[in-house]
């Protein structure tokens, strides 16, 4: 482990190279890893330079210190002084354990087992790797430019060492078969005249990460991206990426208005995502490197790569896909829609069908309005113009719009819409909708005679579309604390012990649920709603024990593991006395400023409801400013009893409460609402001003080229994650926590960054707000870290003591758990058919698991996913995974229903015999492992379990 010291007293004419050589004469050649030479800000005749020196070992630094302590360390006629440095020059330096020089690298593809078709070769290649590096680095010079190929271990499918016959060659060939192309970097020359780059002032043993900038394939014919083999010639003595385009097959996606309308052209739609070679999101520095001076606005080759793909499109076979548009969530994921034009229908035609946007003269807003039609939604009913009324917005004599984004729906029409959303038991109180060019929410109004009553604040553009699309609706949703909320509540006086007790209570419940039926029943309410929760409920109600029946056990154990992971990585603590609720407006004008109405369901499928009264704490994620947390008074209003599972805000007062909460509005935002008195802060602070920066207005119509450039610039300026992480760090270190000046400044920057998709105004982070070291709970293993003494640090270290335990379905478990009570007469008649269906089911479910990179059956079935492939994210792809699994389960139910029907229909005995056969071919030890031969998959056991199939033992 290395060490960094500061050595003072050098002449101003000494260079970094000279100082390095001088100190290595004492410490030994090759002992210095990095060195920075600096001059004082004000130079006088007696001024001396000082050097910050990072040694590779502590012993080397100690040698220099010992000489200085004896007052014999001199450079010329100057005595030198030594003291410890505040931090390393290169945090956690990447020191290779192994390296190769003068190797030859061949790129290409295997045409036979021992024949490589070469596309490109490079000589004098250096290679570095090590156990802790998790990557292999290839250093190549080509056309007088230095390049670095970075190949992660995860990208390597297989490695083989080939030894040709001794009489032919003594050279070995190390073959890397890759499933993702390596990242490509170009070495930027250091520039003279800049203190932070000039070689006179800086010396590094290895080129620093800041010197390497991402670039595209530099080889002829883009050979790196086309190669599946990297072949290293070793002498005897020793989803569009910057490099490649990857094509994936069709995936199940929640549909949107555009795809539904043009369903006949479904094969002409393409979703494109810009990622790096590890399928991670591209970072802003990949497209625009930041120099140490902070004034560098250069663009890398990757910037041009992204922009050129959007501008020029992508060809697949005889189809040419061109840019169409992107939704707001796609923009955050660096993703977009493309369309292959055909005679009679082009991408431009589709945009014209979507609506009239000509009055919008801001690029960011224009792009957002295009994306409005691509929001994932459920098509419901057509509503003619005469069935819609426009009602005035409510400003209450202020600059704010209290009714921003909210309208009304009649009670009868709400029931019809609920039926189209497959909600048969009730009609929600609030729907998040898209209708023509309108967006926002509509709340049930029993007094309304019009199907829809919409406001001007909901109208974003003109459209002739008259179909009502539903994005979401109000429902029972449990609520959880997170790190941002804990930080703000702690800042406002809530004791850290409160959060520690809440976490202990949550862990106790998780531990009990895997052994106690009652605790398991309570925990089901926190699971993602769907078929699996119904199966779990039936299994428990039929008397199955959580720690005995394997399917039930693995589902509950996986749920526990996912919640422990959320506690560890997000401090996501379940709050019993609270809900996550969609916001809406008090149309009765009963509520006063500072009041809310809250009526909550006891459970997801429970008709019992209760009205909350008293103090409540309300916030909306993300929240960074202490003023985002509001303490309000919940009151009972009989005229609002038709509203439930939503939080009703007043239309009176100097400022809307939603706007006080992180600058929110009422167009579908979800609020954290809790009546747990231990979480009510002792004080409140004034909310922040969330007035957005003025948007730039063009003097011409927005062009599609400007939207493509805006998309690319969004990647450059996307800084929400950077700002949020910096806020976590400063709030953890500063005595005033989130009320400290750095945190308040970061909260302002975050607001600017949130509005960037609408305004196009970027958030520029000043150097003093850049993070130098991170608290341990952020798990930044490649950065300098410290042990946090704050409440989140304590929560993190406590939860690390609890580890998940998931038992797998082994042959031994099959022997112990096979339930003979589920075997009924006549089951043998259906064994052959059951085996055939089981093989089909396992094949399809296994393919889904492989596609999404999900390791266990319980994860994909329950939706409690612990880890997935890098090209997917839980937040973006959870709905698609749920749909895919639901589709497969629905198909399996149809197989079960395919039974010959006699005059008297299907007998109950036949149904039970078939169900018994399905259970037998899944659980009996003789079938264990027989369905996954040749696949790296566990034995799957969800096949026989469907709602209504559980039997009491």
Tell me: the pLDDT tens digits for 193-244?
A: 565 678 889 888 877 677 788 899 999 888 898 888 899 886 544 455 555 5
Tell me the pairing of strands 774-775 and 785-786.
Answer: parallel
What is the reported pLDDT for 95?
A: 61
Answer whether residue 947 shows pLDDT above 60: no
Structure confidence at residue 619 (pLDDT): 98
On whether the CB atoms of residues 854 and 868 are closer than 8 A, the answer is: yes
Highest mean pLDDT, choosing among 317-321, 342-346, 422-426: 342-346
**How many helices (H) and strands (E) in the chain?**
25, 38
Whether 697 and 360 have beta carbons less than 8 Å apart is answered as no
Positive or negative: CA dihedral 854, 549, 882, 607 = negative
Q: Which residues of 258-286 are buried (b: 16+ CB within 10 A; e: fewer)?
A: bbebbeebeebbbbbbbbbbbbebbbbbb
Q: Which stretch of 209-218, 292-301, 636-645 has the lowest confidence by average pLDDT? A: 292-301
pLDDT band at 293 (very low <50, low <70, confident <90, very high): very low
CB-based contacts of 44, cutoff 8 Å, min separation 6: none
In this prediction, residue 902 carries a pLDDT of 44
CA distance 551 to 538: 12
Distance CA 426, CA 676 (A): 28
- Give the mean pLDDT of 267-281: 84
Question: For residues 399 and 742, what is the distance between their CA atoms, to the nearest angstrom?
Answer: 29
> Which among 150, 367, 118, 368 is positioned nearest to 241, based on CA atoms?
150
Q: How confident is the model at residue 309 (pLDDT cuts 50, 70, 90)?
A: very high
Span 679-722, pLDDT tens digits = 999 999 999 999 888 888 899 999 999 999 999 999 888 888 89
State the pLDDT confidence band at 531, using cuts at 50, 70 and 90. Answer: low
Q: What separation in angstroms does the CA of 459 have from each of 20, 217, 435, 440, 463?
A: 66, 46, 9, 9, 10
Helices 483-491/720-733 angle, 10° precision:
40
Q: Which residues contact 450 (CB under 8 A, 6 or more apart)?
A: 387, 388, 389, 408, 410
Which residue is it, tokens 């459970």?
603
What is the length of the chain?
953
Confidence at residue 237, expressed as pLDDT on a 0 to 100 scale: 41
* DSSP type of residue 425: S
Lowest mean per-residue pLDDT among 47-56, 368-377, 689-698: 689-698
Q: Output b/e per residue, 134-162; b: 16+ Cβ within 10 A.
A: ebbbbbbeeeeebbbbbbbeebeeeeeee
Q: Give the mean pLDDT of the chain.
A: 87
Q: 3-state secondary structure string, 286-316?
A: HHCCCCCCCCCCCCCHHHHHHHHHHHHCEEE
pLDDT reported for residue 867: 86
Q: Inform me whether the pLDDT recorded for 592 exceeds 50.
A: yes
User: What pLDDT sits at residue 868?
Assistant: 82
pLDDT of 248 higher than 80:
no
pLDDT of amino acid 191: 62
The pLDDT value given to residue 234 = 66
Confidence of residue 296 (pLDDT cuts 50, 70, 90): very low
The pLDDT, as a whole number, for residue 417 is 96
pLDDT score, position 689: 94
- The alpha helices in 294-389, defined as continuous H runs, are 301-312, 328-332, 347-354, 363-371
Q: Is the pLDDT of residue 291 over 50?
A: no
Residue 824 confidence (pLDDT) above 60: yes
The yes-or-no verdict on residue 577 having pLDDT over 60 is yes
- Residue 167 pLDDT class (50, 70, 90 cuts): very low
* pLDDT for the residue numbered 565: 93
CA dihedral for 535, 539, 545, 551, sign (positive or negative): negative
pLDDT reported for residue 933: 75
Query: Taking the CB of residue 72, how many other CB atoms lie within 10 A of it?
Result: 10
Poorest-confidence range of 120-124, 160-164, 378-382? Answer: 160-164
Reported for 703-706, long-range contacts at CB under 8 A and 24+ positions apart, including other chains, are 704/323, 704/348, 705/311, 706/363
**pLDDT at site 568:** 95
Which comes out higher in pLDDT, residue 325 or 130? 325
The 3-class secondary structure across 861-922, one letter per residue, is: HHCCCCCCCCCCCHHHHHHHHHHHHHHHHHHHHHHHHCCCCECCECCHHHHHHHHHHHHHHH
Residue 840 CA to residue 829 CA, distance in Å, equals 19
Q: 864, 946 in Cβ contact below 8 A?
A: no
Instruction: Please name each of the domains of the chain with its CATH number.
Output: 3-84 (3.30.70.330), 98-234 (no CATH), 257-354 (no CATH), 378-473 (2.40.40), 491-572+777-807 (no CATH), 578-679 (2.40.40), 811-927 (no CATH)
Picking from 150, 147, 163, the residue whose alpha carbon sits closest to that of residue 114 is 163
Return the residue matching tokens 């939503």: 646
Q: What are phi and psi of 916, to 5 degrees?
A: -65, -40
Both structure tokens of 104: 């030859």
| Average pLDDT estimate for 26-41 | 89
Local confidence band at 466 (pLDDT 50, 70, 90 cut-offs): very high
The answer to whether the bond into 408 is cis (omega within 30° of 0) is no
pLDDT for residue 295: 42
Residue 694 has a CB neighbour count (10 Å cut-off) of 9
Q: In terms of pLDDT, which residue wins out, 2 or 518?
A: 518
β-pair partners for 98:
129
List, in order, residues 6 or more apart from 267 with CB less than 8 Å away: none
């Amino acid at each position: 482990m290395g060490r960094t010291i500061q050595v003072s007293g050098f002449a101003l004419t000494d260079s970094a190279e000279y100082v390095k050589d001088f100190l290595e004469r004492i410490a030994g050649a090759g002992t210095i890893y990095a060195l920075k030479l600096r001059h004082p800000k004000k130079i006088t005749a007696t001024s001396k330079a000082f050097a910050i020196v990072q040694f590779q070992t502590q012993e080397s630094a100690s040698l220099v210190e010992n000489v200085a302590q004896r007052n014999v360390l001199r450079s010329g006629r100057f005595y030198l002084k030594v003291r410890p440095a505040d931090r390393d020059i290169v945090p956690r330096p990447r020191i290779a354990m192994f390296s190769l020089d003068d190797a030859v690298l061949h790129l290409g593809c295997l045409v036979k087992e021992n024949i490589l078709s070469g596309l490109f070769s490079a000589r004098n290649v250096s290679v570095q790797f090590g156990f802790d590096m998790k990557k292999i680095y290839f250093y190549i010079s080509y056309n007088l430019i230095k390049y670095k190929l970075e190949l992660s271990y995860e990208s390597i499918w297989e490695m083989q060492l080939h030894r040709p016959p001794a009489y032919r060659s003594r050279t070995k060939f190390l073959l890397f078969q890759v499933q993702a192309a390596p990242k490509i970097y170009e070495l930027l020359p250091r520039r003279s005249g800049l203190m932070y780059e000039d070689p006179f002032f800086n010396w590094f043993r290895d080129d620093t990460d800041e010197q390497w900038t991402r670039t595209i394939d530099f080889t002829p014919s883009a050979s790196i991206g086309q190669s599946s083999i990297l072949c290293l010639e070793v002498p005897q003595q020793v989803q569009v990426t910057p490099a490649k385009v990857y094509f994936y097959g069709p995936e199940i996606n929640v549909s949107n208005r555009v795809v539904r309308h043009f369903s006949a052209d479904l094969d002409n739609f393409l979703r494109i995502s810009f990622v790096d070679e590890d399928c991670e999101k591209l970072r802003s520095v990949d497209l625009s490197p930041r120099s140490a001076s902070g004034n560098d606005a250069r663009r890398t080759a990757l910037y041009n790569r992204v922009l050129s793909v959007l501008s020029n499109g992508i060809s697949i076979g005889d189809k040419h896909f061109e840019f169409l548009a992107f939704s707001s969530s796609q923009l955050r994921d660096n993703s977009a829609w493309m369309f292959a034009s055909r005679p009679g229908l082009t991408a431009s035609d589709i945009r014209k069908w979507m609506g009239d946007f000509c009055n919008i003269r801001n690029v960011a807003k224009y792009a957002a309005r295009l994306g409005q039609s691509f929001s994932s939604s459920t098509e419901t009913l057509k509503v003619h113009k005469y069935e819609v009324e426009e009602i005035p917005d409510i400003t209450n004599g202020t600059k704010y719009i209290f009714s921003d984004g909210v309208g009304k729906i009649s009670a009868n029409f709400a029931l019809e819409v609920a039926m189209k959303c497959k909600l048969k038991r009730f009609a929600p109180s609030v729907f998040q909708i898209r209708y023509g060019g309108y967006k926002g929410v509509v709340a049930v109004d029993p007094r309304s005679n019009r199907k829809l009553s919409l406001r001007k604040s909901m109208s974003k553009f003109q459209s002739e579309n008259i179909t009502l699309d539903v994005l979401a609706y109000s429902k029972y949703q449990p609520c959880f604390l997170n790190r941002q909320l804990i930080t703000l509540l702690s800042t406002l006086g809530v004791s850290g012990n409160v959060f520690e007790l809440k976490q202990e209570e949550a862990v106790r419940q998780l531990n009990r649920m895997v052994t106690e039926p009652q605790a398991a029943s309570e925990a089901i309410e926190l699971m993602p709603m769907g078929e699996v929760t119904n199966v779990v409920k039936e299994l428990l109600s039929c008397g199955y024990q959580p720690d005995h029946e394997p399917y039930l056990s693995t589902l509950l154990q996986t749920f526990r593991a996912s919640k422990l992971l959320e506690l560890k990585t997000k401090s996501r603590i379940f709050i019993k006395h609270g809900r996550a609720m969609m916001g809406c407006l008090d149309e009765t004008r009963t509520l006063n400023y500072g009041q809310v109405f809250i009526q909550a369901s006891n459970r997801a499928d429970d008709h019992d409801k209760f009205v909350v009264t008293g103090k409540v704490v309300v916030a909306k994620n993300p929240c960074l400013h202490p003023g985002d947390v509001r303490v309000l008074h919940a009151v009972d209003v009989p005229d609002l009893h038709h509203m439930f599972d939503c939080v009703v805000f007043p239309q009176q007062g100097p400022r809307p409460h939603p706007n006080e909460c992180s600058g929110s509005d009422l167009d579908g935002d979800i609020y954290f609402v809790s009546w747990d008195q231990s979480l009510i802060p002792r004080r409140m602070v004034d909310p922040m001003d969330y007035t957005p920066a003025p948007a730039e207005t063009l003097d011409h119509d927005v062009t599609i080229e400007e939207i493509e450039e805006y998309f690319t610039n969004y990647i450059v300026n996307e800084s929400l994650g950077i700002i949020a992480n910096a806020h976590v760090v400063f709030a953890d270190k500063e005595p005033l926590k989130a009320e400290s000046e750095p945190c308040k400044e970061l909260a302002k920057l975050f607001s600017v960054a949130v509005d960037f998709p609408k305004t196009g105004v970027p958030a520029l982070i000043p150097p003093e707000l850049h993070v130098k070291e991170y608290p341990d709970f952020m798990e930044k293993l490649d950065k300098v870290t410290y042990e946090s003494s704050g409440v989140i640090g304590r929560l993190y270290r406590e939860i690390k003591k609890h580890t998940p335990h998931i038992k797998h379905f082994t042959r031994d478990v099959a022997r112990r758990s096979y339930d003979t009570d589920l075997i009924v007469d006549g089951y043998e008649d259906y064994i052959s058919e059951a085996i055939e269906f089981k093989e089909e089911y396992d094949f399809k479910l296994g393919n889904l698991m492989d596609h999404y990179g999900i390791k266990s059956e319980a994860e994909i079935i329950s939706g409690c996913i612990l880890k997935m492939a890098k090209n997917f994210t839980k937040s973006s792809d959870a709905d698609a995974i749920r749909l895919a699994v639901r589709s497969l389960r629905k198909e399996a139910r149809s197989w079960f229903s395919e039974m010959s029907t006699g005059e008297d229909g299907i007998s109950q005995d036949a149904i039970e015999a078939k169900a018994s056969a399905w259970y037998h071919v899944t659980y009996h030890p003789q079938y264990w492992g027989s369905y996954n031969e040749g696949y790296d998959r566990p034995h799957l056991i969800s096949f026989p379990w469907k709602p209504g199939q559980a039997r009491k033992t």
